[in-house]
A and B are shown apart, each in its own frame.
Chain A
Amino acid sequence: MKYIVVLLLGLLTGVALFAVGLTYNPFVGKRALSPLAVTDSQTVMLSYSAVAADAIMYTNDGESRIDPLPEKVQQLWEAPIRQSSAMVTVLRDGRSHVAGVGVKVSSAAESTHLLKGKALLDSIWYVYLPGQGSFFVEQSENYWDYLRDIVIPAYRHSGDTWKGTWMGNITDGPGTLGMARVVGGSGEFAGMEMLGVETLSVGAWRVEDGPLAAEGQLIIELPSVSADVDAEMDSLPDDN
């Protein structure tokens, strides 16, 4: 009997050690700077409040940490969409002026692999910027660093809150260099294929409500003129 008790205690200790090792594994997470931070191409930068209460509309299954908004909005309770959320929000330009509106729909990704430090969401954005046009963003978002640096410390804190400054790139593919795939829809963006990155900066987070102070940013890299010229040159018939 005593051996079984000791074995069970060892098992529990092992699981706890594994959890600690997984969480603080120095070889996982901490993505480098966004590749767009050093791009020469023109970029479109749009920011939005990542606090659900600031959105025009936010809904989920109604049982998650973040409450739907407005209060009487339909919830996504049906089984196939239970792990999804939808948000409509105002997008602002670099001078904090309203630039357009964005619709974000995301759902938990089956490719989530915690052993590899991947806590993934599949998400899409539809962005409409009046006077400029619309585009569609398709991405996987990795919240591993977010969980490790914000959520777990918040649970450990006696007040169930986390305060600080956290900034991270949450886009994790499927485009080149782990960027999001962006496809133009109308206006200036019509026919364009672009890359993008979504970043989050968080100032406060509470276990009960989720983010209290957070801002998201969508950075879209427009195709460079030189790339267009190269493509046109390639399409010209050969004189020889």
Chain B
Amino acid sequence: MSICGSISLKTAQARRVRRGRDISGNTAPSVAVRCAVRHKIDRIRCWICCNLTKLTATALERHITTGGGDVLLKTFIFGILLGIVAAAGVLFAVPVVDQYREVSLVSVAPNGGSREAFHINVPGDRIMTGAAGQNSSLPIGLEWPKDEVLSTVSIEIFKVRNAQNTVIGVASRALAKENDADIIDWIIHLPARGSLFVGMEPQSLEGGRRIGKLRAGSQEFDDLTGFITERWVPDTSGGDDAPLGRIELLATYVSNSVPFEDQEAESLE
């Protein structure tokens, strides 16, 4: 039998409660009084009995006599436990972050390792060009700091595309003058895959190519060495919507076990 059902009202108590302690407007006074008295002792149970279920007087009377309060309470507690377990399970099983991925278009390089081509359509994929003293800023409204320290640095930010012309990442190209020598560094960030840090040689090679060493990589590129070439390819299609050209980046990833110098020498031959 439930606690509510086990209530045994003494006459004095009942009289006291009838004078103004009826808490349930939905139930008949006699039943509500019994619950109200109990309410002082066990607030949660009485709340479930009288308010939560909104039982009619007849139903509440039956509910009290058959011990339904206990079942309801157990159901409620079971619901709480189920809620906790369900929330933990969902959080455990369903990934909070699920990055959209394009298929990696990687091919085997003739001299070993693997090769991946990226490109940047110019000017469409150029997000920012920042340099001291430039006549027109990109984007409009960009203010490059006037401090003398940054007068020899320029930073460009691009969207990077794969061989299928789909945007897959963000890249930055930094150009700086240091002791009359150019420093050209690239960072390429491909969400969910990792990042590349490349230091380019300042001198251009045959065909306007410039080669750079993969100095560091993260995640997927963590254990790789290799090199990247950059090349400007002007557009020759002549289309109205065609870009001016594109910057081609050809990455060759080599296992760490093969010295980079050997790979570079072979590649240049």
The answer to whether A138 and B127 touch across the interface, beta carbons within 8 angstroms, is: no
Bound state CA distance, A76 and B91, in angstroms? Answer: 28
The answer to whether A11 and B189 touch across the interface, beta carbons within 8 angstroms, is: no
B residues 118-155 in Cβ contact with A at 8 Å: 126-128, 130, 139-145, 147, 149-150, 152-153, 155
Known contacts A78-B167, A115-B88; decide if A98 and B79 are in contact (CB<8 Å).
no
The answer to whether A110 and B80 touch across the interface, beta carbons within 8 angstroms, is: no
In whole Å, how far is A221's beta carbon from the nearest beta carbon of chain B?
A: 16
For residue B241, which residues in chain A have a CB less than 8 angstroms away from its CB? none
Specify the chain B residue showing the minimal Cβ separation from A71.
B141
For residue A109, which residues in chain B have a CB less than 8 angstroms away from its CB? 97
Q: Is the C-beta of B262 less than 8 angstroms from some C-beta in chain A? A: no
Q: Is the C-beta of B82 less than 8 angstroms from some C-beta in chain A? A: yes
The answer to whether A72 and B88 touch across the interface, beta carbons within 8 angstroms, is: no
Bound state CA distance, A78 and B83, in angstroms? Answer: 36
The answer to whether A6 and B98 touch across the interface, beta carbons within 8 angstroms, is: no
Once A and B bind, how many residue pairs between them come within 8 Å at the CB atom?
245
Q: Is the C-beta of A161 less than 8 angstroms from some C-beta in chain B? A: no
The answer to whether A122 and B218 touch across the interface, beta carbons within 8 angstroms, is: yes
Interface size on A, residues (CB 8 A): 71
Q: Which of B91, B95, B149, B185 contacts A130 (CB 8 A)?
A: B149
The answer to whether B216 and A138 touch across the interface, beta carbons within 8 angstroms, is: yes
Specify the chain B residue showing the minimal Cβ separation from A183.
B216
In whole Å, how far is A218's beta carbon from the nearest beta carbon of chain B?
A: 15
Interface string of B173-187 (1 = CB under 8 A from A): 010101000010101
The answer to whether B149 and A88 touch across the interface, beta carbons within 8 angstroms, is: no
Bound state CA distance, A165 and B142, in angstroms? Answer: 31
Interface string of B89-108 (1 = CB under 8 A from A): 00110011111111000000
Bound state CA distance, A219 and B110, in angstroms? Answer: 42
Bound state CA distance, A76 and B127, in angstroms? Answer: 9
Q: Is the C-beta of B245 less than 8 angstroms from some C-beta in chain A? A: no
The answer to whether A3 and B71 touch across the interface, beta carbons within 8 angstroms, is: yes
Known contacts A9-B79, A70-B141, A107-B191; decide if A98 and B147 are in contact (CB<8 Å).
yes
Bound state CA distance, A62 and B175, in angstroms? Answer: 28
Known contacts A56-B142, A76-B159, A122-B218; decide if A6 and B72 are in contact (CB<8 Å).
yes
Q: Is the interface of A mostly helix, strand, loop or mixed?
A: mixed
The answer to whether B95 and A99 touch across the interface, beta carbons within 8 angstroms, is: no
In whole Å, how far is B123's beta carbon from the nearest beta carbon of chain A?
A: 10
Knowing that A86-B170, A90-B147, A98-B145 are A-B contacts, what are 13 other residue pairs whose CB atoms are under 8 Å apart, sorted by A's residue number?
A10-B83, A14-B81, A15-B86, A56-B130, A56-B143, A80-B167, A80-B192, A100-B150, A101-B150, A108-B97, A130-B178, A174-B218, A187-B178
A contact set with B: CB distance below 8 Å: 2-3, 5-19, 21-22, 56-57, 59, 70-74, 76, 78-84, 86, 88, 90, 97-101, 103, 105, 107-110, 112-115, 119-120, 122, 124, 126, 128, 130-131, 133-134, 136, 138, 174, 181, 183, 185-187
B contact set with A: CB distance below 8 Å: 48, 52-53, 55, 71-72, 75-88, 91-92, 95-102, 126-128, 130, 139-145, 147, 149-150, 152-153, 155, 157, 159, 166-170, 172, 174, 176, 178, 183, 185, 187, 189-192, 194-195, 197, 199, 215-216, 218-219
Q: Return 15 A-B CB contacts under 8 Å, by A number.
A: A6-B52, A7-B76, A7-B79, A11-B86, A13-B83, A17-B83, A56-B130, A59-B157, A90-B145, A101-B174, A103-B174, A124-B187, A133-B178, A138-B195, A181-B216
